Amino acid sequence: MVESKKIVEITPQQRKFCELLILYDGERTATECAIEAGYSEKSARQIASQLQNREKYPKVYDYILMLREEQHKKYHVNYNRHMRRLKELSLSAEEKGNYTAAVSAEISRGKAAGLYVDRKEILTGSIDNMPKQEVERRLEELKKRFPKVINSIAIETQSKDERKKFKSKNSKK
């Protein structure tokens, strides 16, 4: 259950409802929490609604708010806590020899610290609408900008062609 530092004057059943509501936040409905707190199944839906109404049950409402605030403080994510947690995960994964997870945690730390920048270029137009000379000029630009990528693709394509030739020569024998 959720621990509260302030004592609010509500019944034990109301207190249990509030604590269950916060504990199962989103996993169970308020009606289910009311039933688990001991309210009748027939009236649980109505009671759950009323207990969350500030005008009808201000102390219960305030207690729910107080519990939510405590949960927020306890699980609030801030930059330092996030970075510290990612570091712990990285070191733990590394100690266990799980280097993939360790690297992933370190990359996440780097992204959180702003060391990585996602860069996306949106190009409009189509190669189909470009004149042949423009296409050739753009290809030459790309070869100059990304020589390693272009060369590795060319080598990979060559390797595939050589394998095909080798297969066809051997199948004729």
pLDDT tens digits, one per residue of 111-122? 887 877 777 777
Q: Does position 7 have pLDDT exceeding 70, yes or no? A: no
pLDDT at residue 143 in the model: 81
Residue 69 CA: distances (Å) to CA of 31, 49, 52: 22, 20, 16
Q: Is the pLDDT of residue 11 over 60?
A: yes
Q: In the numeric block, which tokens belong to residue 46? A: 């109505």
> For residues 7 and 42, which has the higher predicted lDDT (pLDDT)?
42
| Helix, strand, coil percentages for the chain (3-state, nearest 5) | 70, 0, 30
Identify whether residues 99 and 57 lie together within a single domain.
no
Extract the tokens encoding 61: 């409402």
Find the domain containing 86 and state its range. Answer: 79-112
Do 33 and 68 reside in the same domain of the chain? yes
Question: What CATH number is given to the structural domain containing 64?
Answer: 1.10.10
Domain total of the chain: 3
Residues 35 and 64 in one domain: yes
**129, β-bridge pairs:** none
Q: Are 67 and 58 in contact (CB under 8 A)?
A: no
Confidence of residue 60 (pLDDT cuts 50, 70, 90): very high
Asked whether residue 152 is assigned to any structural domain, the reply reads yes
Distances (CA, A) of 116 to 82, 94, 109, 119: 16, 22, 10, 9
pTM over 0.75: no
Q: Closest Cα partner for 64 from 17, 132, 11, 129? A: 17
- Residue 1 placed within a domain: no
- Alpha-carbon distance of 150 to 121, in angstroms, equals 19
Same domain as 23, residue 65: yes
46 and 94 in a common domain: no
117 located within any domain = no
**Any domain includes 118:** no
Residues 102 and 133 in one domain: no
- The answer to the question of residue 120 being in a domain is no
pLDDT value of residue 131: 87
Q: pLDDT band for 17, please (50, 70, 90 cuts).
A: very high
Q: Give the chain's mean pLDDT.
A: 82
131 and 104 within one domain: no
Q: How far is CA 69 from the centre of its chain?
A: 23
Assess if residue 153 is contained within a domain. yes
Does residue 86 belong to any structural domain of this protein? yes
Looking at the structure, tell me whether residues 62 and 83 fall in a common domain: no
- pLDDT (mean) for 151-168: 62
Are residue 24 and residue 65 in the same domain, yes or no? yes
d(CA 136, CA 65): 66
Nearest in space to 74 (alpha carbons), one of 21, 12, 23: 23
Asked whether residue 4 is assigned to any structural domain, the reply reads: no
Q: How far is CA 126 from CA 63, 109, 135, 138, in A?
A: 61, 38, 10, 12
pLDDT of residue 166 exceeding 60: no
